[in-house]
Structure 1
Amino acid sequence: MKRIHVVAAVIRGADGRILIARRADTQHQGGLWEFPGGKVEEGESVAAALARELREELGIEVTASRPLIKVGHDYPDKQVLLDVWEVSGFSGEPHGAEGQPLAWVSPRELAQYDFPEANQPIVAAARLPDQYLITPEGLEVPQMLRGIQKAVAGGIRLVQLRAPDMYDPKYRDVAVDAAGLCAGKAQLMLKGPLEWLGDFPSAGWHLTAAQLRKYASKGRPFPKERWLAASCHTAEELALAEQMGVDFVTLSPVQATRTHPDAVPLGWDQAAGLIAGFRHPVFLLGGVGPEDRERAWQAGAQGVAGIRAFWPEG
């Protein structure tokens, strides 16, 4: 069965809201919401298909776009490759040129709409930022909390509280304070035993590779409303993350790092190859910084994750 190549757009307005459209009841997956787009014609480039589909469906002209995520999905009756682009600039006023209802919704509200199963990773990618801050080791608690506060004030919207040198009760105390600093501004991801899950309802959970190996066969440990992420380094670990039903992963190390000098870097080409076989958002980690976002997007990643490169000075 030939995979149908479909281009789709996460169209972001100036206020950050995202445009979605409702499928006609007569269509495949009718009545569900979707990201506008359509089939890439034989011999047509993806960029040309994106421009054509949005012109035909919404009456707009694309002026700024970039790759966001590629998602392969097998329905019982067809196989599709969703080639998703973020559209951050366009001219014209979007309207349902084919009579389809439209809605502008905040990234947070996307989770409340019913999308086809194949769209779930796109919903995650549309809601996630392109930078993921991981807290450095060896900081005193006040220093760590000040840094988180400063980073969030500076626009960081996804924070992992990583403190492997902290004993458990101290980490839990810091987690409570960090959750307060992030509330309403950034998504906090915690690390630790899954027994703690019930104690931090607003936080997402970032699993270690060891936890992935231990728990993947049991499936997702909590409902879709909470973010679940995992640290991956190999194709095998990515497969386990898929099995567990994660929302996103970090893939590392892309390049050599001071923190893990013995780890063999994947390199950009191998990282891109691993991302191509995975259907959820991926943050590239290890020897990368904010200046590598563009390269990460071209490799198929959601963005970049980092420790020192993202930690605010002073």
Structure 2
Amino acid sequence: MRAPIQVVAGVLRDTAGQVLVAQRPAQSHQGGLWEFPGGKLEPGETPEQGLARELHEELGVELLASRPLIQVEHDYGDRWVLLDVHLVSSYRGEPRGCEGQPLAWWPIDALNQDRFPPADRPVIQALGLPSLCLITPQDAPDPTDQGQKQRMEQFLACLERATDAGDMLVLLRAHALGDAAFAALARALVPVCQARGMRMVLNRAPGALSGLSAQGVHLTARYLHELPEPLTKRTGLLGASCHTAEDLARASDLELDYAMLSPVQATRSHPDAQPLGWDEFARLVRPARLPVYALGGLTPAELSQAWAHGAQGVAAMRGLFPAEWDSTS
């Protein structure tokens, strides 16, 4: 089996949050398209060493600090590439095209995937997602039940405290509620998320979400395999829960925006489930062609470990939702 060409790239951001892109020479592979600065690893180099060298050679800057963002395997037919992308948090110098390549600073939401090589497209997806995903507790209140009015107020207060921690994706999961109660709960949560500039995705079958203004849908692993083809006309984020390599492959083939892989560690909610552990998580995620959150027994304290094992970040319920909610249930 042929070995992949190992390529390292860096995402540099300016003070406005824009990212630096460079245009590939017209005569090169994928010529004329834009990319994130980087290049092939040399024999014996670590990704960090290769990134520092490439940024110095291509941009004339000194790398000071970075962390893993995403790894992408892509088969172009004539070559198989393993793209290892790092998010650069600190560098010294003013980037310039040292090899004559055009440079540009673009906002993340202006990164058109069609203007980049296919291997870079999951990178753009990863840049558009936060590192944390808050999953709401399963015992969410029913807003249509007047007897649960106080619990509803407590739930919203807990959500506000949880989202004070910083940018995160909010996943509303309340399987015990019927469609009408779920819709009412979603409408009540929208103002909280909007006030903090956060997106909310709904863990419900797409057909049950007509008229709701959330920013995406999150599919169960079972529903993931029932979709006949990619939802090319969808709006907003589309993600899914995954537990196996087959689940992740299906999510990649359907071109979802993200996935969650679980359980990484033992959890109270699924005590009989066999944890993957970080090494198995990394093995399963490496061939996935989309950002993958680590889920199961985790807290924000494990973010660095998650990044080091190929995760987009950490998804959590008890690890992010205030502990006092347990006492109100």
TM-score (norm 1): 0.92
Q: 1:98 aligns to what SS in structure 2?
A: coil
Q: 2:220 aligns with which of 208, 211, 214?
A: 208
Structure 1 residue 101 corresponds to structure 2 residue 102: yes
> 2:263 corresponds to which residue?
253
Q: Distance in 2 between matches of 1:200 and 1:24?
A: 45
Structure 1 residue 82 corresponds to structure 2 residue 92: no
Q: 1:287 aligns with which of 262, 273, 297?
A: 297
2:19 and 2:108 in contact (8 A); partners too: yes
Partner AA of 1:59 in structure 2: G
Structure 1 residue 190 corresponds to structure 2 residue 205: no
How far the C-alpha of 1:286 sits from its partner, in A, is 0.7
How far the C-alpha of 1:172 sits from its partner, in A, is 0.9
> 1:181 corresponds to which residue?
192
> 1:298 corresponds to which residue?
308
> 1:58 corresponds to which residue?
59
Q: 1:305 aligns to what SS in structure 2?
A: strand
Name structure 2 gaps, 5 residues minimum. Answer: 142-151, 325-329
> 2:158 corresponds to which residue?
147
Name structure 1 gaps, 5 residues minimum. Answer: none
Q: What is the identity percentage for the equivalent residue pairs of Structure 1 and Structure 2?
A: 46
> 1:233 corresponds to which residue?
243
How far the C-alpha of 1:112 sits from its partner, in A, is 6.8
**Mapping 1:33-72, distance limit 5 Å:** 33-72=34-73
How far the C-alpha of 1:86 sits from its partner, in A, is 1.1
Q: Distance in 2 between matches of 1:82 and 1:311?
A: 35
**Given the superposition, is the C-alpha separation of residues 188 and 104 from structure 1 closer, same or farther in structure 2, using an over 3 Å criterion?**
same
TM-score (norm 2): 0.88
Paired positions, count: 312
Q: Distance in 1 between matches of 2:234 and 2:15?
A: 28
Further displaced range: 115-124 or 273-282 = 273-282
Partner AA of 2:173 in structure 1: R
How far the C-alpha of 1:165 sits from its partner, in A, is 1.7
**4+ long deviations beyond 6 Å:** none
Further displaced range: 107-116 or 205-214 = 107-116
Partner AA of 2:64 in structure 1: T
**Mapping 1:6-25, distance limit 5 Å:** 6-25=7-26
RMSD of Structure 2 on Structure 1 (CA): 2.0
Deviations, residues 34-60 of structure 1 (Å, cap 9, x unaligned): 111011112222212101110111111
**Given the superposition, is the C-alpha separation of residues 306 and 28 from structure 1 closer, same or farther in structure 2, using an over 3 Å criterion?**
same
Decide which structure has the larger Cα Rg and report it.
Answer: 2
Partner AA of 2:293 in structure 1: F
Q: 1:262 aligns with which of 256, 266, 272?
A: 272
Structure 1 residue 170 corresponds to structure 2 residue 171: no
Q: Distance in 1 between matches of 2:157 and 2:105?
A: 35
Q: 1:199 aligns to what SS in structure 2?
A: coil
How far the C-alpha of 1:64 sits from its partner, in A, is 0.4
